[in-house]
Amino acid sequence: MGLNYAIDCRACGAHSEYHTTIVVRSKNTHLHLADHVDTECAIRCPVCRARLNNSVAEFHQQVTISLSE
């Protein structure tokens, strides 16, 4: 079980994806994670290192989170 992040970087136009493994404590965990975007710890484009989460709105414009089995 994990999360897939599909990134469409506004700064360089690159499309990239990465995968994280999470410990699921409840069936709603992924919904919580998708709703809670940490804007203090920078999430960056792996190609150009542009910061993707200056705000929650910017994050959602550039990153799509989906749950994988």
- Give contact residues for Zn ion (rule: CB under 5 A): 9, 11-12, 14, 45, 47-48, 50
Least gap, CB of 15 to Zn ion (angstroms): 10
Closer residue to Zn ion in complex, CB, 32/64: 64
Give first-to-last CA distance, the chain, whole Å. Answer: 5
Classify strands 15-21 and 2-8 as parallel, antiparallel or unpaired: antiparallel
Secondary structure of residue 63 in the 3-state scheme: strand
Least gap, CB of 51 to Zn ion (angstroms): 10
Closer residue to Zn ion in complex, CB, 45/63: 45
Distance CA 28, CA 50 (A): 30
Closer residue to Zn ion in complex, CB, 8/34: 8
